[in-house]
Amino acid sequence: MQLNEKSRAVLGVTFLCVAFFIGGIYFGYTDRPYVDSVVGIENKENNATKTDFDPFWKTWHILNEKSIKASSTTDQEKVWGAIKGLTESYGDNYTEFFDPKETTAFDEALSGEFSGVGLEVGKKNDILTVIAPIKGSPAARAGIKSGDMILKIDGTTVAHLSVDEAVQKIRGQAGTVVTLSILSSDDLLLEDANDIKITRETIVVPSIETKIDGQFFIISMATFTGNTINQDIEKAMNAWKVSGKKNLIIDVRGNPGGYLDSAIHMASFLLPAGQTIVTEDYNGKDDSISHKSQGYQIIDNTTTKIAVLIDGGSASASEILAGALHDNNRAILVGEKSFGKGSVQEIVQITEDTLLKVTVAKWLTPQGLSIQDNGITPENIVTMPEGWKAGDPDPVMAKAKELLTN
């Protein structure tokens, strides 16, 4: 049977369409660009993953089709949950994905004001641990101190929670009550844990306080975060210069840290230009970056002496400042071993209202000490007496004054 011209034309067009379709699939697959999901650019040097994603989608569809338990979450919330599981698989307590609600809370914390009890927490040996209570906060007034362990929040065990998930449970509307099951750093048995009820408040994170005490100029820093922290540092440094005092005491006890650039900014007032403040070690994934002093020095180094006070609540940027001044022989350290939070997190915008906080490097002091988990041990160890409270004699401050005048 012969085909007429119209039929042959139809078959010809159909054949061409099928050929182009198959060719498009083939060439589109073999020449597809590799997309770096973090920075969102084409990166053909990376190898494509050979992971089979079919089990994920198969599970997704089976759950949607067959589960008799209705899900209370939206499909988008399920995606956020899947990403959280992915980040948790890396086993790093500081690599976390923030869904829209958590992103808002994270931004509020960095701004220096939020509602909660005023605790900075981290994980040590996979246990949720208090880095430091914020000065004057409900947590501080309740007697919670650096090194205390949080076992439960409102009766819920926190062992399986990430740091930021625990933070979200502790925070809440001002005026509401949260119950924390606290195991003191001085206790050894789980049954010694105490349930402490704390009423949440709007927490305004203090930044810097300065005072003159005889021949000493004292700078007390509660944090390295806040929208005006660098300006506050400059004001404190200028106040020191105006005072004419030759003995400087920087108190970062209970300071959980904050912005890296603020630690660098402060160190630049105290170290000559070009001296190393801290090095970011990328473990071979990228070149290490050494941050140098900008040399803002406003006081003659040859006629001034500095002491930095640290304890178990000193973390992150506080440890960077202490390590930089100590390793460059610019300051003596007095107090107790610091917390040991020395990893670098990069904040990556995933969507318009979600973030990924990923650990990309470790901080090394100028002499190459890794701060992470090790902390910084002062050469002048002075412990605070049990039950010490504001207004009592401060043996750490007293020792620093003695050393500076000797």
Task: Give catalytic residue positions.
Answer: 316, 327, 341
Q: What is the CA radius of gyration of the chain?
A: 28
Strands (E), 187-239: 194-199, 201-204, 208-213, 216-221
| CB-CB contact of 130 with 147 (8 Å) | yes
* Residue (of 316, 342, 237, 326) closest to 276 by Cα position: 326
| CB-CB contact of 64 with 319 (8 Å) | no
CA-to-CA distance for 112 and 292, rounded, in angstroms?
27
Place of tokens 């988990």: 373
Q: Which helix (H) or strand (E) holds 260?
A: helix 260-267
Q: Which helix (H) or strand (E) holds 241?
A: helix 229-243
Residue 111 CB coordination number (10 Å): 12
| CB-CB contact of 341 with 371 (8 Å) | yes
- β partners of residue 97: 356
| CB-CB contact of 120 with 170 (8 Å) | no
Give the three-class secondary structure for 102: helix
- What are the structure tokens assigned to 20, written together? 């182009």
| CB-CB contact of 343 with 284 (8 Å) | no
Q: Nearest 5°: phi and psi at 322?
A: -60, -45
Place of tokens 């003596």: 332
- Which amino acid is residue 307, in one-letter code? A
Q: Which helix (H) or strand (E) holds 152?
A: strand 149-153
CA-to-CA distance for 105 and 97, rounded, in angstroms?
13
